[in-house]
């Protein structure tokens, strides 16, 4: 089976809670918080573990919060490895308004990195990458780490026979879309895609046109644009279309994208074709939105939802 390596440069200790109503200038009495290890790569490894798979999780963490993060990761049966950078780990908090069902998410910044830190992380990633491995950097970047860092790392990984699946946003996504750096897969959601293009994606055909164009321009072999509740649009060499999930009642959107990437990568590592892997990812995202906080996808639900995912050519 293909090895999966996740990379989290800016992890967080995630606290999630609920208040009867969220209004300004008042003390809001919240429910007891759920506490989970967070950060894109960490959550992807957690999702893979939930689905019965294995991965290596490279994490930059430090300080008391970082130790609590490690303890929580290990409590879920994972063994995080150092990314070579050990600044104090940040926190984030999400509050669900019980009256409206709306969720408010507050993300604190991480510690600023130096050029030396970037070199240490680069060395750790390249040392971990084995031939054929799927390397998945995910999550926000700490201050000081240039948005070009991960796309520019892809060619060096390719030289070692590894492939990069990149799930990013903002300036890093813009660079990845233009760099032609040999990415295996590039994923974004609708908001990120609209920021990239400066245009509204009003119809699924707009998502498909963008995914098709990015792939043709050499951004990646596989391009995926998440279309919220409609599912995921994927462009591969052989097929462009939508993988549509079954109808579910959402509780929290946190972790849906990470669950998608985890299930997608796990399916690829087991030899599934990219479109089938996208169906697994779509099922995992549908599972995740039903959960509280950052509990992520659940295997039984994912296996049930996978059978209900539709493939629609666009």
**pLDDT tens digits for range 179-199:** 889 999 999 999 999 999 999
Cβ neighbours of 17 (radius 10 Å): 17
pTM, whole model, 2 decimals? 0.92
**Averaged pLDDT score across all residues of the chain:** 94
The active-site residue out of 117, 167, 258, 301 is 258
Among the residue ranges 82-86, 173-177, 294-298, the one predicted with the least confidence is 294-298
User: What is the percentage of the chain residues whose pLDDT exceeds 90?
Assistant: 88
**Crossing angle (nearest 10°) for helices 149-159 and 115-128:** 30
What does the pLDDT read at residue 294?
A: 64
CA–CA dist 49, 303 (Å, integer): 14
Label residue 258 by pLDDT band (50, 70, 90). Answer: very high
Only one residue has tokens 């989970």, namely: 36
Q: Which residues pair with 59 in a beta bridge?
A: 8, 82
* Residue 258 annotated as catalytic: yes
Q: Considering just the CA atoms, what is the radius of gyration of the chain in Å?
A: 18
Smallest CA-to-CA distance from 190 within 240, 226, 219, 165 is with 226
Determine the average pLDDT of the residues in 76-98. Answer: 95
The one-character DSSP state at 309 is -
The DSSP element (H or E) to which 211 belongs, if any, is helix 204-216
More confident residue, 160 or 252: 160
14: its two tokens:
């995630």
CA–CA dist 179, 279 (Å, integer): 28
CA–CA dist 160, 147 (Å, integer): 22
Backbone angles phi, psi at 262, to 5 degrees: -60, -50
Smallest CA-to-CA distance from 103 within 242, 205, 307, 250 is with 250
What does the pLDDT read at residue 238?
A: 95
303: its two tokens:
């296996």
What does the pLDDT read at residue 179?
A: 87
Label residue 221 by pLDDT band (50, 70, 90). Answer: very high
Residue 86 has pLDDT above 80, yes or no: yes
Cβ neighbours of 72 (radius 10 Å): 19
Determine the average pLDDT of the residues in 30-48. Answer: 93
Domain boundaries, the chain: 4-313
Label residue 20 by pLDDT band (50, 70, 90). Answer: very high
Q: Where does 4-313 sit in CATH, by number? A: 3.40.1190.20
What does the pLDDT read at residue 185?
A: 98
Only one residue has tokens 């959601």, namely: 189
pLDDT tens for residues 122-176? 999 999 999 999 999 998 899 999 999 999 999 999 999 999 999 988 899 999 9
Contacts of 71 by beta carbon, 8 Å cutoff, 6+ apart: none
Q: Which residues of 111-147 are buried (b: 16+ CB within 10 A; e: fewer)?
A: bebeeebbebbbebbeebbeeebbbbbbbbbbeebeb
The SS3 of residue 253 is coil
Residue 293 has pLDDT above 70, yes or no: no
Cα–Cα–Cα angle for 189, 128, 111, nearest 5°?
A: 60
């Amino acid at each position: 089976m293909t090895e999966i390596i996740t990379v989290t440069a800016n992890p967080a200790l995630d606290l999630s809670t609920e208040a009867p109503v969220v209004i300004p200038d008042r003390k809001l009495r919240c429910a007891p918080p759920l506490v989970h290890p967070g950060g894109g790569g960490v959550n992807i490894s957690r999702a893979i573990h939930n689905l019965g798979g294995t991965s290596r999780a490279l994490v930059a963490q430090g300080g008391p919060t970082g130790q609590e993060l490690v303890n929580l990761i290990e409590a879920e049966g994972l063994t995080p490895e150092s990314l070579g950078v050990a600044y104090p780990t940040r926190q984030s908090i999400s509050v669900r308004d019980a009256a409206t069902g709306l969720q408010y998410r507050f993300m604190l910044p991480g510690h600023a990195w130096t050029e030396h830190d970037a070199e240490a992380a680069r060395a750790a990633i390249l040392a971990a990458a084995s031939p054929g491995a799927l390397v998945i950097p995910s999550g926000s970047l700490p201050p000081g780490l240039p948005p070009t860092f991960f796309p520019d790392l892809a060619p060096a990984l390719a030289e070692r026979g590894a492939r990069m699946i990149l799930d990013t946003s903002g300036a890093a996504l813009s660079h990845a879309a233009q760099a032609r750096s040999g990415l295996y897969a590039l994923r974004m959601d609708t908001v990120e895609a609209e920021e990239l293009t400066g245009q509204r994606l009003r119809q699924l055909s707009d998502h498909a046109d963008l995914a098709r164009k990015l792939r043709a321009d050499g951004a990646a072999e596989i391009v995926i644009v998440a279309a919220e509740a409609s599912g995921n649009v994927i462009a591969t060499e052989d097929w462009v279309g939508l993988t549509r999930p079954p109808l579910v009642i959402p509780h929290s959107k946190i972790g849906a994208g990470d669950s998608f990437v985890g299930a997608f990568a796990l399916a690829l590592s087991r030899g599934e074709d990219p479109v089938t892997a996208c169906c697994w990812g779509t099922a995992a995202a549908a599972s995740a939105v039903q959960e509280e906080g950052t509990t992520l996808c659940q295997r039984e639900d994912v296996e049930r939802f996978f059978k209900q995912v539709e493939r629609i050519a666009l």
